Structures are given as structure tokens and as C-alpha cells.
Amino acid sequence: MKLKPWRELEEGAVIKNVPTSLKYKTGEWKKESPLFDSEKCTHCLLCWLYCPDFVIKVKDGKIYKFDLDYCKGCGICSKVCPKGAILMKEEKI
């Protein structure tokens, strides 16, 4: 992303045109990624409830996607899963 020169900043460091968080892909930070096994999953949605970054996407009560653009790799989903359906795997660079 191109950084702005000082004259182009909003006065008072205010951010307009909110929300801007969707553009900020925090998934670039992660060291580990969740590996999801849909066979073991019972769709209890504990992982969805606990995920701090809204990574786990649900439709009609079922998990259909992990949006890894916003996953920081914290592993909370893996910890709370009662069926061992989510394993944390090291990211290969």
C-alpha cells in the first residue's frame, strides 16, 4: 500500500470512509493455519462463536469456509473443537 505524504492526511488523524478494517488483511501475520476436517465436524459452531476475527463462515447452520485473509493463526478454534476437527498446521513460507 502506498503511504500518504503529510499534506494529504486528514486533520486530527481522523479516519473517514469507515469501515476500513476489511482492507486490512491481518491473515498476513499468521505462523500457523487451521486445517479443517469436514468429516469429523458436527457443526456445533463453538469455533465460530470463539473466533476473534470472524474467520469461520456459516450458512444455514453449517460451516462452509475459513476466510484465511483475516485468520491470525491464534488456534482458539482448534482448542475449543470437541471433535478434533480443526488442527493447527505450520505455515510454509
Partner 1 sequence: MKTETKKIVAKTGNEAAAYAMKQINPDVVAAYPITPSTEIIQIFSKYVADGEVDTEFIPVESEHSAISVCIGASTGGARVMTATSSQGLALMHEILYIASSFRLPIVMIVGNRALSGPINIHCDHSDTMGSRDSGWIQIYCENANEVYHTIINAVKISEKVNLPCMVMMDGFIVTHGMENVLILEDEEVREFLGKREPLYSILDLKNPITVGPLALYDYYMEHKRSQVDAILKSKKIISDVFEEYNRKFGLSIPSFIEEYFLDDAEIAVIAMSSASGTLKEAVDLLREKGERVGILRLKITRPFPYEILRKKLENLKVVGVMDRAETFSTMGGPVSIEVKAALYSLIKRPLIQSFVFGLGGREFSLEDAIKVFDILKKINKENKLEEEFIYIGLRE
Give the binding range for partner 1 (CB under 8 A) out of 4-12, 37-45, 58-66, 78-86: 4-12
Cβ neighbourhood burial of 75 (10 Å; 0-12, 13-18, 19+): middle
How far is Cα 45 from Cα 58, in angstroms, rounded to an integer? Answer: 8
Tell me if 22 contacts partner 1 by CB under 8 A. no
Give the binding range for partner 1 (CB under 8 A) out of 13-21, 22-30, 49-57, 60-68: 13-21
How many CA atoms lie within 13 Å of 17's alpha carbon, on the beta-carbon side?
4
Tell me if 5 contacts partner 1 by CB under 8 A. yes
Least distance between partner 1 and beta carbon 1 (Å): 9
